Structure formats: structure tokens, C-alpha cells
A and B are shown apart, each in its own frame.
Chain A
Amino acid sequence: MLRNYLMAALRNLARNKLHAAIGICGLAVGLAAALIAALYVRNDLTYEHFLPGYARIYRISSSYADPAGAPVPIDVTPPDVARWLAVRLPIRQIARIDVGSRHGIRVGTVSSLERLSWADPEFFDIFRFPVVAGDLARALRRPDDIVLTRTLARQLFGRDDPVGQTLLLDDKHLLRVAAVIEDLPPNTHLNFGIVASSLASFSSFTPLDAQPLAFGKSVDAYTYFRLPQAATLDQVRASLHDFIAALYKPKMAGGLRFSFSVVPIAAIHRLPPAEGAMKARGSPALLYAIAAVGLLILLAAAINFVNLSTARAAARHVEVGIRKAVGATRRTLIVQFIGEALLRTGLALLVALGIAELLLPVFNRLSQSRLTFDYLHDSSILPAAVGFASVVGVLAGLYPAVILSSFRPVTALRGGATRAGGEAVRSALVTVQFAVLTGLAIAIVVVFDQTSYAERMVGRLDTTRIFAVNGACGRTDADTFRTLPGVVSAACSASAPLGYIYTKSFGTVRRGVKTFFTDEAVDFDFFELYGLKPVAGRFFSRDRGGDAAPGGTSSTRGAPIVINETAVRKFGFSSARAAVGELVNVFGPPSEIIGVVPDFPTRSIRSPIDATVFYVDPKQFDLLSVKVSAPQEAQALAAIDARWAQLDPSRPVSRFPVAQMLRELYADLEADGAVFSACSAIALLLACAGMYGLASSIAERRTKEMGIRKAMGAGRADVLRLLLRQLTLPVLWAQLLAWPVCYVVMDRWLAGFAYHIELGAASFLAAGAAVIAISWATVLGHALRVARARPVAALRYE
């Protein structure tokens, strides 16, 4: 009997290849999309879970606000916070790790430039990373200890366990590898290169720790602790409050507020963006969107599949009638239909796994994630997929089985009562699918708009063929490079335009204006090099000797300054023009504003642009910006590298195109866009399949009606209009469904950016029009066929 059923099922599949293929592939695409979405969501929900005891690990974050402004969160704290807490609370496992900077590293004869962070010895007591080699528990206890990741170990030493071997830091200090840990997984907020012990006499913490606890120490540290049973978070918070009261309150300028917060590390990933974040945070809106879309795609695919199966089964009423006539019971028929449906969902699941495997690398590249699909070691994803496929299979078999098997044999044979119903259901389904599609289409339009907006923001700087050389200006001046062949221009700066250091000043810049601002030292030709034009006033000029005066507290006149547009507003000037010639107190003695430069972003587009004060101070110069000419680019770059080698033979040159660095400011935005686009492609496929199904069922059902109408004198256009109107209705409903939801979601997404476009009706209308056009393209074939049919053919259809 089983064999008979199996044969019937397989032959049915073989006979209806197209139908079977549409059904199975549709479900497979849905399952694959849902699998990937589930991986993404799980990855997002399991941040830091790989760390033993992650639930008891906390980080201390800061925030500050001036009297007028909203609090600005910062992920780092002053370095003394850890020392303060360690002596006041029974917390032994508390440690700092600094922001990290690039250093010259030499192993044998090979030198390279690597990021190195200083960390307290307790760092690896808190973070018990999976160990590749060495004793992590004792690492960093010696001042010359360092810890590497597996990739760094391979890169520097060519093997996984170089424990005990040494490397040379900045050609001065010998450091010893104490342990090697596994590479950090994608789902952690942590991001560091080489970790070296803060006990080293040359660590960034050592000189600061030698001084008593104080206000205004410059190095910023990420402060972590593991909460012991003996202490409570409230105690920690109270102690942090005391820290501010004892050290900061007395020193802070009037109105400035400073506070700490304690965050479980698992929650860091979902916090709003903050300054000094180790790694760009995920966007919760994107997570919700992917989860929702994955779920909806899966639902739509499943309903599509059940629908198709039902319609298919209805055509088999003769088989059912005969089986009943020869004595099949309801139960055997139900078993048969469910079995067949399970066979098809099984096939769909296999195809889905294949699709997921193929798409995952693409998805990873688009979303800049590192998801893996591991059947053997993954205990939840595959069983969930199998379980879901089974449920869909049973449902797909159950409905037709119960309906068909309930008919009397003669009714089934006549096929009288089997007119495929459920058109309303299918119509509703198509509405939902198109609502999803519309939502995604709107998301794409908005993300695209925001991305090009960000590009335009960044594009205020002309970075064509400009290269930045780290540390060059600390060793010589720009003239050394300006005369090289192929170099068009060269200018120094402290760090602009590649992000400023997080320290900010706060003070009374004018009578009644207390505010935060950042200052940045730039060369005379800096703004010109980047193609900026003054909004008002002028930029620094070599010809005016006064411009170069370094800002200091000793003279009675501060250095002349150029401020940006944000500073114009923050400093309370009515316009850029009004600001020029005014005096402000940014360095103590009053400085004259000689010009205003347009705002340009230096950090993630999600962060606001600071009020910034620019001045010329060669003492602070470090970064060199070099513009090279197009025909001589290679020659110029070689000359730059050669000149660097003369300046500092101990470290390789750190040179990179500025455009690429700035592009990273909105890379996460492009990831969002890519993910939305990928989801849309799948939703589009399914929505079109659903629409196609609806159109074919409507066309089938209304063929006779259209014949009658044509006999009554309806022309092709009349028939076409009628069919399109009916098929467009679900799509229009979909718009109504999608728009409000989309408005809320995209509004929240945009709120994550300090500078963003306004949500306009245009994005919604454009997406809606595109979706309607797509739906028409899908159904036009059916509609045209019906409209073109000779009326007699349509009437004879019965």
C-alpha cells in the first residue's frame, strides 16, 4: 500500500513538474531566507555569550552634557575609575583596556604596524577567552607580557603557539608572548589587536597611575568588572557617584554634568550609538526588520505552498472518487495526502539547505557579518527547520485531505463541489506579501537616500587622490613631501579629517555661552588641499605671520581660529558672517575668528559633528595629507614611501587613501541597504509567485465571465481593465498596510543618525508605484491571454 501511495505521489510530482517546481522552490526559498534570518537574529541575540559568566560582566560608561544639551554617551571612562572602585569595594576583577594605537612591531627582520592596547592584568580574569596556547589566567602579570589572537600569532610568528617568544615594540621594548587566544567571534562588542600589560613602565597607564587620583587625566579607558557575590550594582553606582562628587564636581565648570552608568556587556551591542565605541553597534531597527521579514517570508512561503497543494489536490478529485469507490477510508486518504505533502516539504527543505549554503557567503559579505551554518554542531537551527517543514507538510496535506475525503464518491467523481475556493484567503495572502514587499521597497528607497546623503556629507571633502601618512608630520614638516615628484600638495594636521580624539573642552566661550567644543590643529594649506571654501571670512594664510601663533595661555591674544558651521551655532552667532572678526575664549585669552569652514564629518555619520575650532600649531601635527597627480600616482607614492624610510627606518610607512577611510564612516549604512535589498529580492520572488497564483486562479475562474462580457460587446481594453483592477486591489490594500508600519520603523532607523534625510511622501509613492508596476508585470500575461481569447473559446471553456 505504501508503495502504491509513493508511486502515486512521485508520478503526480513528475506529471506536474512546473507546478511541483513552483511549490517546492517557493517553499525552499522561504525556508532558506528564514534560516539565514534566524542565524542573523540568533547571532545578534547572543552577543558575548561565548564568554563564561558573561552575565556578571559589566562595563562602566560615561556621559556628559552641557546645561543646554542632551547627555552625550561615551563608552570610555577616566582611567582612575577602576583604581577608585578597587580600593573601595570588594571587587577584585576590575580592569581597564585603553583605546589602542598603532605601533611598529618587529619580529626578527620583519616589521609591521599593528594596533596595540594596554590592559590591566585582571583583564583576562574577567574575559576568559578560549585559549589556543599559554596560560591566560597568569597573562599580563609580568610587565612584558602580551596576548595575541590566533590570527595575529600566525601573522607575526607564522604559528599558533609562539608562547615565550618575543617581539620588539617601536624598536625599543622587548615583549614576550604569554598566551594566544582564539580570534574574537563576530558577536562581541570587543575589538582589539595585541594586548599588552599596563604594568609595563612605558604603558599609557603607568605615568597616570603614578599620580594621585585626579580630575582631567587625558587617557581614556574602557573599564570592565566582574561582579562578585559580595558586591551589588547599587554599591558600584553609589561609589561612582562618590567619585564624581569627590574628584569632578569641584573642578567642573558651571553647568557641566558628568555621570556614569553600569551596563551588562551583553546589552552593549544594543545601546544607542556612543562616542568611543570599540565597534559600530548593531541597529535594532535592522534586527527587528530582518526578524519580521524572515518570519513573514516564511509565513508567505508556507501559505503559498499550502494553497498550491490544495489547488493541486482539488484537481485530483477523480482519483479520490475512485479510491473511495473501491473502498479507501477517509483515514487512508488523509494519510496519503499528508504523506505526499511531507514528501514535497522534505524536498523543499533539502533545496532550502542548498540555497542557504550558497547565499550565506553573499549575505555575510552584504551584511558585513560572519555567520556560519554548522549542521553537525548546531543543535537548534536544523531541528527547528525540520520541525517547521513538517508542520507545513501536515497542514498542506491536511486541508485538501479532509475536504476531499469528506465527499461522497459520486460527488468527488463529478468534481462538483471541488471548485477551488479560498480565493479570499489567497487574496489576503497576496496583500500581506505585497505589504512586506512594499515595506522593503520603501526601506530600500530610504536607506539609499540616507546613504547618498551621507556620501554628500562626506563628499564635502574632495579626497580624490589624497593619501594620509600617519606620524609623518611628527617627524618633519609638509615641505619635505610637497617637493616630491608627482605630489600636488601636502598639508599637516593633528588628526583631521580622520576623526578627532574624544577629549573635548568645555567652557564659557563668550559672555553667556557655555558649551563643548573640539579643537584641531591644521596646516596652512589644509582646507585648500581638501577643496573646502570658506563659508565666511578666510582660511589661514602663510603670508600673515600672525596666523601661525600657537594658542597658549601666556600671551594676551590667543591664536586666530577658523570655526566650523556647528560652532557658529553652538557659540551663539546669528550667521557665519556675524562670527567673523569676533573674539572667543577657547584657549584662555581671546582668539579672533578669521573664517568659517563648512561642516564635514570625521566620525560615523551616526554621530553628530562637533563644534570645532581649528588653529595652526605645528607642535601638534602628526598626520600628513598628500594630494598626488593622476599621471604620476605610482611614482609619487613610491617617493613618499622612500622619504618615510629615511625619516623612520624602524617602522613601515602607514599610508592609506583618505577616501577609503572616509567611506568607512558610512559602511554600516551600506550594509543595512544591502540586507534590505537581499530581503526584498526574496520577498519580491515570493510575492510575485503568490500574485501569479492569484492571477492564474482568477483568470481561470473568470474566463467564462470574460467570454460573456465579450459576447455582450466588451473590448479587450475593457476586459484588461477589469482584471487588472481586481488584481490591483490587494496591492493597494498592501500599501495601506505597509505605509504606517514602515513610517514608524524608518523614522526610528533615521533617528539613529545625527544627520539624516526627512521622511517624505516621495519615497513612499515611488516604492508604491514600483510595487504596483511589478504586480502588473506579473499578471499582465494572464490578463492579456484572457482578454485576447476569442469569446467563443472562453465560453466553451466549461
Chain B
Amino acid sequence: MLRLESIRKTYRTTEVETRALDDVSLEVAAGEFVAIMGPSGCGKSTLLNILGLLDSPDGGAYWFFGEEVSKYSEQRLTALRRTGVGFIFQSFNLIDDLNVAENVEVALLYRHVSRGDRKRRIAAALERVGIAHRARHLPQQLSGGQQQRVAIARALVAEPKLILADEPTGNLDTENGAAVMDLLAGLNAAGTTVVMVTHSLVHAARAKRTVKLLDGRVVSETLLAA
């Protein structure tokens, strides 16, 4: 369902040119749980951003659910993203001025979901990540683990076919990290494709396949026994 072919991405400043991705090819099948690993600066986040249509590659081709999207305009990417992708970030990226329920609602706002329907789905999503009792709290009143659960609720509320998680446990302690991994595994078990960037071997082990990156290239792919 996702297929990258010879993807290249370079970042330029006036002085430095950084090749973030260099000839990356990768395929992710429906219902997979893929972990992307590698040292800092190897291009993991860039790869995830391209997979999630947050960024476009400089070269190569990308088939997103059968559509070649590498040359798509921002507008068309937005439309695809709106219906198909959920994001989970390392730094949670919750909006400070909105409470928990409103933060989750953001994922539905741009999908023309009716008000009543939104309410019902938000409640269900918060229930699912175990944070329903904090629906009226602001992000800064929550712990890191709780904030990440809100972020997960936001990612799953729209029922996307693909969830991308950028070091979802990076800012969490072991216990909260494990809880987040349980949630992701649960989502995957329910049929959602999950692609996750992580530094943690333990968390990577929860995935069905691990892709290792080094200096912008895929160096190994390991299929783990499920």
C-alpha cells in the first residue's frame, strides 16, 4: 500500500547541504507494523515525513495507496493526508490553548464530521487510550505519558488506514513507554498499518519488521517473527 522507489531528499542552507535520504526504496504492506531505526541524523524522521505526506521528496517516486504522489501539490497532499494518515510525535505536539477533547477534535475538524458524531468519536477515542477522565484538562496539566495518550487518541480518532509515529516513546519513562507501545500494537492488531521511528530496540521488537537507516540509506531490513 506504500511504495518508495529511489527516494532522495536534500536539505540546503546557504553553507551546508545535507543529504537526508539517498536512494531509499521501501515497501509497506497493508496491516504491517514497521519500525524504522538508526542513529540521530540518519534520515528517519525525513522518511516518516515523506511517508506521511508532510514533505515531498526531491527525487524518486512514491506510491501512496496506489497513487504516485511525489509531484503532488501541497493542496492535493493535504486532501490525501486528511483522509488517510494519523500522526504521533515524540514531543506530542498538542495545541497548548486547547483542552484534551478539543485537541483530539482537531483531527476531525477538517473531515466534515458532524458535531454529534465528533463528540461520540472523541469520547470513544479517549476511552480507548484511557484518558477520558481528563477530557477537560489542558495539555500542560497532564504528564508526558498522558499527553502522548491524547496524541494517540488524536491519531486514531479519524480511523486512518496508516498511523505514523515519530519516536512516540522518546520522551516517556519505561512504564508509560510500554503502555504507549501496547496501544500501538493494539491498533495494529485491529488492522491499522503502523510505521514507527524509534531508538529503542525493545520497542522495535514489538514491530513485525525493522528497517535500519544509516546516512540516508536503508542498510538492512529484518523481518521479525510475529
Contacts and interface: CB of A to CB of B under 8 A. Distances in A.
Nearest to A795: B93
Interface string B85-114: 001010101111100000000110111000
Interface in A613-654: none
Q: Looking at chain A, what size class is its interface with the partner chain?
A: 10 to 19
A708 interface: yes
Interface string B193-215: 00000000000000000000000
Nearest to B110: A713
B112 to A, nearest CB: 10
A711 B110 contact: no
B10 to A, nearest CB: 14
Contacts of A533: none
B94 to A, nearest CB: 8
Contact of B78 (A707, A708, A715, A792): A715
Contact of B74 (A709, A790, A798): A790
Nearest to A798: B91
A791 interface: yes
B18 to A, nearest CB: 13
B81 interface: yes
A450 B55 CA distance: 58
B11 to A, nearest CB: 10
B74 A716 contact: yes
A514 interface: no
B55 to A, nearest CB: 4
Given A795-B89, A798-B91, A712 B109 contact: yes
A141 B208 CA distance: 119
Contacts of B93: 704, 707-708, 711, 795
Contacts of A788: 74
Interface in A696-710: 704-705, 707-710
A501 interface: no
Interface string B104-141: 00110111000000000000000000000000000000
Select the residue from B78, B111, B154 with max chain A CB neighbours within 10 A. Answer: B78
A714 interface: yes
Select the residue from A705, A713, A716 with max chain B CB neighbours within 10 A. Answer: A713
B49 interface: yes
Interface string A773-798: 00000000000000010111001001
Contacts of B14: none
A71 B49 CA distance: 82
B223 interface: no
B110 A718 contact: yes
B3 to A, nearest CB: 21
Contact of A715 (B75, B96, B158): B75
A726 to B, nearest CB: 10
Contacts of A709: 95, 106, 109-110
Given A714-B109, A715-B75, 18 more contacts: A710-B54, A711-B52, A711-B87, A712-B87, A712-B106, A712-B109, A712-B110, A713-B81, A713-B82, A713-B110, A713-B111, A715-B78, A715-B79, A715-B110, A718-B110, A792-B54, A795-B54, A798-B91
30 contacts: A705-B97, A707-B93, A708-B93, A708-B95, A709-B106, A710-B78, A711-B52, A711-B81, A712-B82, A712-B87, A712-B154, A712-B158, A713-B78, A713-B83, A713-B110, A713-B111, A713-B158, A714-B106, A714-B110, A715-B75, A715-B78, A715-B82, A716-B75, A716-B78, A718-B110, A788-B74, A790-B54, A790-B56, A792-B54, A795-B89
Interface of B: 49, 52, 54-56, 74-75, 78-79, 81-83, 87, 89, 91, 93-97, 106-107, 109-111, 154, 158
